[in-house]
Each structure stands twice: as C-alpha cells, then as structure tokens.
Structure 1
C-alpha cells in the first residue's frame, strides 16, 4: 500500500478542505471545513468522548431521512464555535446547494468542536459565522488545503502539554480504493509512547513515511513533564473513502477510526474530552460487481431519486436516495479492508499533526522538546 499524492484528505477525489484562523488581539483559534463533491457525500458519526460539542449529528443516524451532507465543519471555540457552521451554511445556500425542500434548499452541515477557550488570552474570542465563511472560501481555491500543523481548527490545540494541530494522512489500497483522515489533535492524553518519547502514531506509518525519525535521547525524555488535566480538550476529525458506503457503514468507519485515535493518544475518550469522528463516503467507486441505482440489472426502486446536491431551481420533485443500499453495498472483505485502513490513517494523521505543530508559550512543539528525534 502507498499513500495518495498528497498524503492527505484531499486524496479522496472531490473533497475540498479550507482553513481559517485568528491569532492575536486575544484570539488563538480557527475553523476548518470539508466540502463535499457536487453530489454531496454520505456520512456517519461516532462520539466517544464524555464532553462533546456537536451539531446535526442526529441526522446521520441511518434511521433518519437525510442521506447526503454538503460539508463538515471542525472548529475551535467549544460550544460557542458551533456558530462557524452557520457561515458555511450561508455560503452553500447562496450557491443553491442543499437538501431540496419547498421553496429552496437547506444545506446539511454537521459540525464538532474542540475546547480552546482563552488560549489567545480572551475567553470569548471564538470562531463565528464570518470565520466559517472564510474557511469555506479557502476550500474553493486554496492550493494548501492539505497542509498540516497549527492551522484552522487546530490553531489553538494542545495535546498532553505539547502544541497540537491538524494532521492528515491517506492510503491507496490494492483494490484502488482511497482511505484518508484528518485529525484535529487537542487531547488531554499523551501522544507519546509510554516507554519513551516517540510519537505513538508513527508506529502505523507506511514504508518510508516516518523513517526520518528516531527515538529521542533519554535525557530529553526525562526532562519532559507532560501536562496534567487542567481543562477540557477534545480530538475531532474525519475519515473518508471514495468507496460507496451506506450511512450505517460510514458510522462504522468512524467508530473504527476511534481505534486509531486510541492507539495514538493515551488515555483517549476521557471525561474531559469530547472525541468525535465523522465517517464520509463520496461514493465515487462502486464496490466491484455492484450495479448502479435504477439499472436494468438492479431494477428501479421507489428510492432511486436525485442523490446529488440540488439547486433551488431543480429542487421540486426530487428526493434523496439511500446510496449504497442493497447490491451497491460492499462485501465483507472489501469493507473490512477499508475499516482497517481507517484506523491506521487516523493514527498517522495524529502523528503528522504533532510533527507539524508550531510551538508557543505554554505549549512547545514536539520538535522543540525532542530535537534528537530528527537526529539533532
């Protein structure tokens, strides 16, 4: 297996990522948006932390109506930061993208937050709708959408006393299916191997991915004192694939990605974390042998309506279809490969976040604390 072209979430064709942040004047926070391809994307979610802050997650229950979402928002600001999703929703609505209803469309924008309140000096300096709109705009043009580090939702992140941030990773399976993850690492737990100073997530790297790193010197490990629990935290993210999945299977993908989170962060899912992961499918690749909705081999069903994001002009008379249902769903072996990859790419994404994070007062970067990991 190899990584995709950018080793990031955008290796899943059709996904776009935008970051916006504010630093200074009391701010150290930001927002990241993942935009769906023109047809929208199937999504599921799994919440494991005891202190989550989320929006629209109930819609992702397989029992509920909406089959496609149009964006995912990851943001700082704790519960205050959920308003960033309103800016993304406004941009989508202006573009005529959303769930068709009488008179127009309603964009579906699930969101999750990290706790970074006060890390720039002012408690209420948080993301708002304007910052969400900036992240949306960046996703439509930015060539740096794959960037790792202290950007977007990871701007004010801290992980076990070290500077946290956003990390991404991808893998292309032998079948040609791509699986990728993006993590906003802001954990109360440690990202370090308990036996030393190595980043736990690097153990799941692809050949050559982390070969430039080595075990830090013992004196550096002994000198580092990890942070104790002082506030709420939370690691959030997404794991995505181009293979066609159902909502239930996307939820399972999100759940297995939590295994990757727990491999890279210890402890995970604590009472002061709100760990939340979204599972996404762009449905670009049918499982081998699957038939398309409405084809003669499969036969039309009452649910074979419009499955793409719909403009206001085309909303009337269209209905969402449950993508990936029946013979479109992957077999057990194919799904197993995607799930296994989902856990590993999330662990790798956590490691990349820590390697690229920028240090600051009170939250030094991993590279600053353990320079010998690079042979220095």
Structure 2
C-alpha cells in the first residue's frame, strides 16, 4: 500500500500548492544488467502553482535534463510557472510536460495572450535518469503528464510513486518524499515552507557506520529508531549503484511574498539540505535541480525595514533559507524511508523494519 503524505509535513501545507502522480509499474520488471531491463517502472509528478506566484530554479548538477529553466532566471520577464513537472525517463521524459501544458490550456490557465482567452501555460520540468529500471523504451510521455495533472490535489502518495517509481538512492530504492514546517519566530515568523523531492542520487543516503540516514539528529521526526548490528552490517555490504547517471530533483514552496531573486535564493539554500542528506552530491553526472515557489499568501508580520539599496524581503529570505535546507533534507530521508522495493532494488523500510516505529 502506498504511504500518504501527512498534513503538517507536506509541501501542500502551503496554500495553493497541489501535487499529482501518475506511474506505470508492472508486476514483473527487471533492471538492466547483462540483459536489457524489461517492464514498466517509471512515472511523472506534477506540482501545480497558484496564479500570481513567483517561481525560480537553481541547477547544481553537472548533467541536468530540464525544460524552461532559463525562463525562470530573475533577469527574464516571466515571474512564475503554472505547474512544475518532475519525471522519470531521462530527457525523453520531458515529453510529459506537453501533456501538462495541454491540460492547463484546456482549463484556461497560463499567461493570457489576447482578448480571445488564449493562454500559454509555463511548465518548467526536470528529469531523473531511471531508464535502466524496466524497459529502455518504456518511459513517460504526454499522457503521463496529463494524468498526473488530473490527479493533483492536497493529498498525495510518497515513496515509490510518480517520478520516484524507478528511482534509486545509492544502493537502496529511492522515491518521492516531502516535508514542511512553519516558522515560529524570527523575521519569517508565521510563514510555512515545504519541499517535495525525487531522490535518485548515486551518492549514499545512509551512514554505513550507523545504518541511519545522514543527519541522525532528525530521527524522531521520521519515526526511526536504532538499527540492530546485523542490519547495519547488511547495509554496509550492499553493492554500489550500478550506474553513474542519476539526479535528485524537487520543488520548494513557501507562502511568503518574495521577489524572483529572493525565491531563487530559497532554491539555492535547498541544495544545502541535499548536500546534508546525500554523500556525495552534485556530481558531474547528476542533474541536481531544485525549483522554488513563493505564493505570497501568508499573513505573517511584515519584515523589519531594510537600509536603502537592500531588498525588502531580505530578512524573510534569510529565515526561510535555513528552513529550506531542513525541509529538503527531511524530504530526501522521507523518500528513502517510505520507498518500497521495485525490480529487486532493496528498500530501506524492509531491510530495517525493526528500526521503524
């Protein structure tokens, strides 16, 4: 049974953000090795963005597969996306964004172009390399994107679903994870920030000395206890991932009102969380990419005044930046914590079942 993201700890705690998945996973699926892989084991995740939100992106990996990321540069004209696509299928999977565009156009959502109601939806996308899991030619297309968009809502699954269906995290099964928190004090008091991440890194997400995720101080949040000695040894003996083509991608969202530049700084700060949870991160063949969205719907207190020449949202960005790293780290751990086995790729929750509360 697919685990469900819980209110109070999911990206959709930010008002206006919705998430939908679509995946195909065959009962019999194999990973490419001496023989080609076979069967379906891939999917697409769509994060819809409310009108008027600000969107940005930060790409840190050396081998990204992306669409429309240049449009989100702060020096360019468009301020926000209509939806963001995270998908399997490597560069082929970018076709899923076409289906999302078609669905949004049918709903009349996008940049208005004329008096006749014509719109152009802005749909940035990023991909993971999951082609060796299942058949090489069985990858997301426009239909995956359209179905994921139709499934979008505040409730959604985590683990081996959507774009995380064929994901691997080091030697373990990867997947989709999410987290959120609301700041209790400081300049960003009252603002909520959340993250959704598809974890598919070549780097390890587990400390081989302890059998626990990197950043062990957060164990209670994830319902984790201490593994047994035999489980730690079994984890340490797992072989490394069989491919160096990887990528961890995701979306950070907040209800704060931020400039495009401030929103981009959230995406940049989120990569700190990626670096905490994955070792190594940002390799030359990873495509590590984080989008950020600021909806501007929060009712928190106004930030303190800034000196002339400085952006008014700087104190809020500073507070949210630290939180962005936390929610990204938690989302990556959650992705591995909730993933289920696919194609014989071992899952953390099976190997360490006695450590899960």
Q: TM-score, normalised by structure 2?
A: 0.87
> How many angstroms apart in 2 are the aligned matches of 1:168 and 1:157?
15
CA-CA distance at 1:41 after TM superposition: 2.0
Between stretches 238-247 and 366-375, larger displacement belongs to: 366-375
CA-CA distance at 1:159 after TM superposition: 0.5
Q: Does 1:166 align with 2:176?
A: yes
2:254 corresponds to which residue?
241
Contact 2:190 2:299 in 1 (8 A): no
Change (3 A) 1:331 1:99: same
> How many angstroms apart in 1 are the aligned matches of 2:94 and 2:48?
17
1:335 corresponds to which residue?
317
Within the candidate set 5, 9, 13, 2:15 is matched to 13
- What is the correspondence of 1:161-200 to structure 2 with a 5 Å cutoff? 161-174=171-184, 175-200=189-214
2:225 corresponds to which residue?
214
Q: Does 1:131 align with 2:131?
A: no
Contact 1:40 1:70 in 2 (8 A): no
Gaps of 5+ in 2: 27-37, 304-308
Gaps of 5+ in 1: 291-325
CA-CA distance at 1:29 after TM superposition: 0.4
> How many angstroms apart in 2 are the aligned matches of 1:364 and 1:226?
11
What secondary structure does 1:32 align onto?
Answer: strand
Contact 1:287 1:328 in 2 (8 A): no
1:317 corresponds to which residue?
none
Within the candidate set 142, 149, 153, 2:163 is matched to 153
CA-CA distance at 1:256 after TM superposition: 0.6
CA-CA distance at 1:4 after TM superposition: 8.4
Q: Does 1:73 align with 2:85?
A: yes
> How many angstroms apart in 2 are the aligned matches of 1:327 and 1:178?
24
> How many angstroms apart in 2 are the aligned matches of 1:365 and 1:83?
29
Aligned residues: 329
Contact 2:226 2:355 in 1 (8 A): yes
Within the candidate set 304, 327, 340, 1:345 is matched to 327
1:302 corresponds to which residue?
none
2:341 corresponds to which residue?
359
1:32 corresponds to which residue?
45
1:296 corresponds to which residue?
none
2:352 corresponds to which residue?
370
CA-CA distance at 1:109 after TM superposition: 0.5
> How many angstroms apart in 2 are the aligned matches of 1:85 and 1:69?
12
What secondary structure does 2:104 align onto?
Answer: helix
Between stretches 20-29 and 176-185, larger displacement belongs to: 20-29
